[in-house]
Structure 1
Amino acid sequence: MNISPSGMAAPLPAAEPDHGRNVFLAAQRLSANCFFNALLRETGCGTWYRRERRPLPNGVSAPAVCIPLATGKTELWLNVSYFSECGRHQFALPIVWRSGDGHCAQVDLAQAAQLVADEPGFFPGADRVSRAQFTRRVEASVDNMAQALRARSSDCEHLFAQPLTFVEAEQGLLCGHAIHPTPKSREPFTDEDAQRYAPEFGNHFSLTWLGVDAQFVRGASSAQLSQGAVTDRVREGDGVAPAPGGMVALPAHPWQWRRLRKDARLAALIAQGKIIELGCGAASWHATSSLRAVYSAQSPYMLKFSLSLRLTNSVRTLQPQEAARGLEVLKVRDTPAGREFTSRYPHFHILAEPAYLMLTDSEGEQIVESLVMFRENPFVGEKSRQACVLATLTQDHPQGAPCRAAQLILQLAQRQRLSPAAATRRWFAAFLDVVVEPLLIAQADFGMLFGAHQQNLILAFRDGIPVTGYFRDCQGTGYSQLGEQLLRPHLPDLARDGDNLIHEAQANRLFVYYLIVNSTFGLISALAAAELLTERELLCQLRDRLQLLWEGRRKDPSCLEYLLHDAEIWAKGNFQCALTGMNETTSADPFSIYHRLPNPLLIRQPHRSQG
C-alpha cells in the first residue's frame, strides 16, 4: 500500500455528484465505527486523548484515540465523537496515519485495514492468506454498505423515525453488526444477487418449489402436524400445486437452488426425475435481517434456509444438530417448567421451529446445503405492525442523527409531555420488563439459555413503549445443569441430538455476551450517544434490576452474581474470527474467540438528573 507523505489518500473522482460522495463518506464512517470498536475491544490497543495533552496530527483534535502500529513505529488516529463506557464508541472521519518521522496522511478504511492486518502483533494466529482475505472482505463490506445506503437513501427518514411494519424493520438494517470489522461482507454474492436477495435493498422474490421422491427427503417435526403437513400449509399459501404422487413438495431458496442443481450429488437424481421443479410460488417472500430467513405476510411460518454464503463469521449452512434444537424448543415449551415460564412472562414469546426438511443423495447421506427449517410466524395481520428487530432500533444513523430507538423516545416524550430523561427511563424499564428480565429468569429459574443478540430480539410497541418481546433463532439455545434437572424427567432425550447441554461457566459467558454485552449494552450506548441519558445512569438502572432479581432467591444465581460482582465479563472476538478466517459454526472450539473485557456494571451510582 502506498501512502504519500503529503497526506491524502486517493480522492473520489471529481465528477462524482455530492450525493455519491455523501454516501461513500457515510459508509466509511459507519464501517469505521464497526471496525475500530471491534479492534479496540478485543486488543485494548488504543490510547485515548480526552484533552490535548500533546500536539495531535493534522486533521485530529481531542477527543481522539491513537492505535500504535509496531511495524515502522507508525500510528493510526481517529477523532472520537462519542466515548462509550460500554465500548461502542462513535468516530469521526478522517482516519489519519502518522509515520515515525511525523508525516501524516488521511487513509480510507481499506488502507487502515491493510495496516492493521500487516501487524503481526494483532492476533498472531492469523496467517498471511487469512490476513489478505480479511483486507479484501473489509473493502467489500464498505462497498456493500455504500451500495445499500445509495439504494435506500430516500427511505432514511422513514426507517429511523416513522412507524414500521415487521418486514420494513427487518429490511431496514443497513449497517449490520455494530462491532465487527466486516459487517456487510457476503461471499460469493454478486451485486445483482444482493439487490435481489439481501434484506437491506427492500426487495422481495418468489420461492422455488421442488417435487422430490420421498426416499430422498429427510425431515422431522415436533408439532402436532407432520413435516409434510407443515410444508403443505406453506405450499398452499404460496399457490403451488401438490407434488406428484410419491413425491414431497420442498421449498428452496432460488439462489441456493441455482447452486444445488449443479451439485454432483444431485445431478443423477435430477436426471432420473427423482427431483423435479414444480415452479415458482405466487407469494412475495422477503429476506429478514439475517438474509437466509425469509418472511411472507401470508404464511404461518417463516423459512430459514441453508445458504452457501459466508456472512460475517460463518458460512450459513445449517447443521442437523441446529435443526434438532429448533424442534426441541417446542417440546420444552410444553413441559411443566416451560408452561410455568410462559405463565410468568405472558408478554415474552419464544418462536419455535417445529419442522425441517432436507435432501439426501443416492447413498442416503444428508445434504445440509438443502436444509430448510420452518419457524413460527406471529407477525401476520395486526401483529405485523409496530414490531421491530432490536438491531434496527440501535443502528447508527447514516447522517449522524439519533438512532431509531432514541427517536421513538423523543416522540414519546413529546406526546406525554415528559423530559427526554424521564421518557428514556420509562422506555428502558419497559425493555427490561419484556426482554431482559424474562431471559434472565429463564436462565436463573429454569436453566433455559437463549442466545439473545440484537438480531434475535424483536420488540412490539404500543404508543411507542415496548410491550412484547420475541426471541427467535433456536439454533442459539441450550440448557444448563439446572435445565437438565428440570426438563429431563419430561424429556428423557433432552439435548441428545442438539448437543447443547452447557456447563455453568461456559453457559454464563455465552448467555451474558448475547443478552447483556451485545443487546443491552448496545442499546445503552445508542441511547446515551443521543444524549438522552448517560451510560452511567442507564447502567445503574440495569444494575438495580439485576440486583432485584438476584435478591429473589433464584434457583441458579450464578449468572446474576457473575454480572453483579465479576470485574471482567466475556465477549465474542469478532475481529479475531474475521482476521483468522474461522468459520464459527463449525469450529472445534467456538469458545476460543471469546475474550475478557472490564465489566461496566461495577459502577458507582451517578447523580440522577431530574425530569
Structure 2
Amino acid sequence: MTTGREVGPRVRAERAARERLVASLLRELDPPAVLDGDTLLLALPAGALAVGVATWSPTGHHRLTGEVTLDGRPATHDEVVAAVLDTVGGGEPVDHLAGLVANSVDRTARYLAHADGAPACPGGDPTRDAEQSLRLGHPFHPTPKSAEGLDDGDLPAWMPELGASFVLHHLAVRSDLVRTGGTPGDPPPAVAARLPPGWTALPMHPFQAGLLARDPTLALLGAEGAVRWLGPLGDAVWPTSSVRTVVDGVTGASWKLPLRARLTHFVRTTPLEQARRAVDAAAVVAGIGPLPPGFGVIADRGFATLDPAVGGERLAADLTVVTRAPFPPGRPRVLAALLEDGPHGEEPPLVGEVRAAGDVHAWLRRWLAVSLVPLLELFGSAGLGFEAHPQNTLVATDADGWPAACWVRDLEGAHVRRDHLPDGLAADSALVYPPEEAWRRLRYHAVVNHLALLVAVLGRHTAGEEALWATVAGVLAELGGPWAEDLLTSPTLPAKAHLRSWAAGRGEDPVYLDLPNPIRMGP
C-alpha cells in the first residue's frame, strides 16, 4: 500500500471521502457484507463492491486502503461514490448528491495541498494551529468540508484550513432597536470611537456584510437613520474550526457570527432561540458553583441583534452575534484536530503524546476523569448536558502529555432535563428537553461521537479498541450511579445517521439509529 507522501492531495482526499461513505453505509444501512481477510465485499445494487481494509473497528471507525473494485474490475472514485449513493437513495437525485461530495473532495484536496507548504503553529499558537488544521472533518459525514454559498475564490479569505484572518465589519444600530441577552460586552476601542452615543455596534463576518449590504430592509432602515455601516474596524481575527466563530488575535475576544452558508448540514445563521439557549445555559453553569476538577466550560456570555419586530426573524438570525469567553489558559487544543491523521497520513498528534506519557490505559483513565465522568456528574446533579463532540471539546495537556483539563464550548447545543430544572430557568426555555431526549443527546455527543473516536484512534495505534473499552467500563463501574449503570448495561447507543439524513435533506431533523454498545462488551 502506498503511503500518504507517495500520493498527491487529490488522491488522499478521495480516499478519505470513500472511507467516510463506506463506513457510513455500513453503519446506517447494513448492506450484505463479508469481511474476507483484508477485503470487504459488499453486495450493492450497482454491483459487487470490494474495498481493502486496513483496520476494522467495533464502533465503525474502519480504515480502508486505496484498493477498490466493482464487479471484479478496478473502480474509479466516482463509480464508488455513485454506487454508495445509489444504495442510500433518500429523495435527492444521485447526480446532485455526487456533485456535493465532489465539491467537498475538491476543498479537502485544496486544504491538504496547502498543508504541504504551511508552517505549523502560525505565530507559535498551538490553540490556533489545532483550530485551523482540521482538514478532513467529521468521520461519518459524506461532505465534511462542504460550504455551499462560499465560492472557491472565497476560501483563502475565510477558511481556517487555509490559515485565514481578516478584519470584522460593523453595523451600527440605534440601541432602542437592538435585542440583547446576557452580557454582550463592550465593543473594541476602534469600534467604540466610531459609535454615536445611544447606538450599538454589531460585529459581522465580511462575507455576511457583503450579502447584507444588498438587503432591502437594512437599506430602508439606513434611509430612515436607524442603522449605518461602519465598515471594517479593529484588530484582525482568525476563524476557528467552526468557520464562523472568530478570535481577536490581539485581545483574545471571541464572537460566534452568523454566516449565510450551508456548512455540512446547516445554514449557519443564528435564530434568536439558539442565542437564548446559549445564554440560558451559561446562566445554569454559573449557578452550579464550582465545576468538577479539571473540567471547564467556555461560556457564551451574551448576544445582540436587530429586534425581530423591526426587521423580521430572518434578518435577526442574519445579524445575531454571540459573545463568547476567550480561550482559557493552558493552550488548549480542539480534540477533533488531535485525533485526525496528518496531511500525509501521519499518525494523529494525540497518539504521540499518549505514547510519551507511557501508559495508554492510565492516560485514558485520566482523560475520563476530566471529561466523561464530570459530564455524567453534572447531568445527574444539575440535569445539564453538553454537546461535547470532538469539535466542541478542548484538551489541555501537561508537559509530559497527560490530560490536565477538558473544556467544552458552544452552549447553543446544551440541554437540561425537564425533570431537573435549575432555579431561575423557565420551563419553556428552548434549553429544556424531556429526560429521555436529553440523555440521548448526551450519549450521542459525548460517547458515540467523542469517546468512540478517541478510543478508535488510540486503539488503532496502541492497545486495541476492546482493551480500551474495558478500561472505560472499569471507570464507569467505579463511578456508579444510574447514568454510568445505563452506559454499562444498555445493549445499544444512539447515533445520527448522517448519510441518510443528508441524502433525504433532513439536516435539521436527523434520522437516529441504534449502535451496539462497545462498553457493554467490556468485562
Work out whether the TM-score is over 0.5. Answer: yes
1:145-544 correspondence to structure 2 within 5 Å:
145-155=108-118, 158=120, 165-221=126-182, 223=183, 227=184, 230-232=185-187, 235-236=188-189, 241-299=193-251, 301-335=253-287, 338-339=288-289, 342-343=290-291, 345-360=292-307, 363-366=310-313, 367=315, 368-379=317-328, 383=329, 386-413=331-358, 422=359, 424-463=360-399, 464-484=401-421, 487=422, 490-491=423-424, 493-494=425-426, 496-497=428-429, 499-530=430-461, 532-544=462-474
Counterpart of 1:318 in 2: which secondary structure?
coil
Letter in 2 for 1:152: A
> What code does the residue aligned with 2:73 have?
C
Deviations, residues 435-480 of structure 1 (Å, cap 9, x unaligned):
1111111112221111110111001111111101111000111111
Native 8 Å contact 2:144 2:264 kept in 1: yes
* Matching residue's letter, 1:113: V
TM-score for the superposition, normalised by structure 1 = 0.80
Q: Does 1:545 align with 2:463?
A: no
In the alignment, the residues of structure 2 paired with residue 243 and residue 46 of structure 1 have an alpha-carbon distance, to the nearest angstrom, of: 64
In the TM superposition, what is the alpha-carbon distance from 1:245 to its structure 2 partner?
A: 2.8
Larger Rg computed on CA atoms: 1
User: 1:482: how far off?
Assistant: 4.3
Using the TM superposition, give the Cα deviation of residue 20 of structure 1 relative to its aligned residue in structure 2, in angstroms.
Answer: 10
Letter in 2 for 1:111: E
CA distance, structure 1, for counterparts of residue 281 and residue 44 of structure 2: 48
Question: Displacement of 1:179 after TM fit?
Answer: 1.4
Of 11, 22, 41, the match for 2:8: 22
Q: 1:91 to 1:500 in 2, by over 3 A?
A: same
- Is 1:114 the counterpart of 2:111 in the alignment? no
8 A contact 2:415–2:433 mirrored in 1: yes
Segments of structure 1 that go 5 or more residues without pairing to the other structure are 1-17, 52-62, 414-421, 606-611
- Map of 2:53 onto structure 1: 80
* Aligned amino acid, residue 540 of structure 1: A
**CA distance in 1 between partners of 2:263 and 2:64 (Å):** 24
Work out the CA distance in 2 between the residues paired with 1:256 and 1:567.
46
Comparing both structures, which one devotes a greater share of its residues to strand? 2
Q: CA RMSD of the aligned region, Å?
A: 2.3
Is the contact between residue 45 and residue 83 of structure 2 (CA under 8 Å) also seen in structure 1?
Answer: no
Between the aligned partners of 1:535 and 1:95, the Cα distance in structure 2 is: 26
TM-score in terms of structure 2 length: 0.93
Conserved? CA contact 1:164–1:388, under 8 Å: no
User: % of aligned pairs identical?
Assistant: 26
- Secondary structure, aligned partner of 2:138: coil
Structure-2 change in CA distance of 1:393 and 1:48 (3 Å): farther
111 and 450 in structure 1: CA distance in 2 versus 1, 3 angstrom threshold:
same
Q: Deviations over 1:276-309 (max 9, x none)?
A: 2223223121110111111124335310011111
Whole-Å separation in 2 of the counterparts to 1:549 and 1:481? 24
Work out whether residues 216 and 364 of structure 1, in 8 Å CA contact, stay in contact via their aligned partners in 2.
Answer: no
Inter-partner Cα distance in structure 1 for 2:5 and 2:517: 41
- How far has the Cα of 1:239 moved from its partner? 6.0
In the alignment of these two chains, the number of paired residues is 516
Partners of 1:142 and 1:425 lie apart in 2 by: 36
Give the AA of the match of 1:479. Answer: V
Letter in 1 for 2:469: L
Structure 1 residues 155 and 524, CA gap change in structure 2 (3 angstroms): farther
Q: Against the structure 1 CA distance between its residues 398 and 168, is the aligned structure 2 distance closer, same or farther, given a 3 Å change threshold?
A: closer
Cα deviation digits, residues 78-134 of structure 1 (max 9, x gap) = 101111112101011133221xxxx513211x3322222223xx35xx2244x4332
Shift of 1:271: 3.5
Name the CA distance, whole Å, in 2 between partners of 1:231 and 1:271.
26
Equivalent AA in structure 2 for residue 358 of structure 1? T
Shift of 1:326: 1.4
State which of 504, 513, 516 in structure 2 corresponds to 1:598: 516
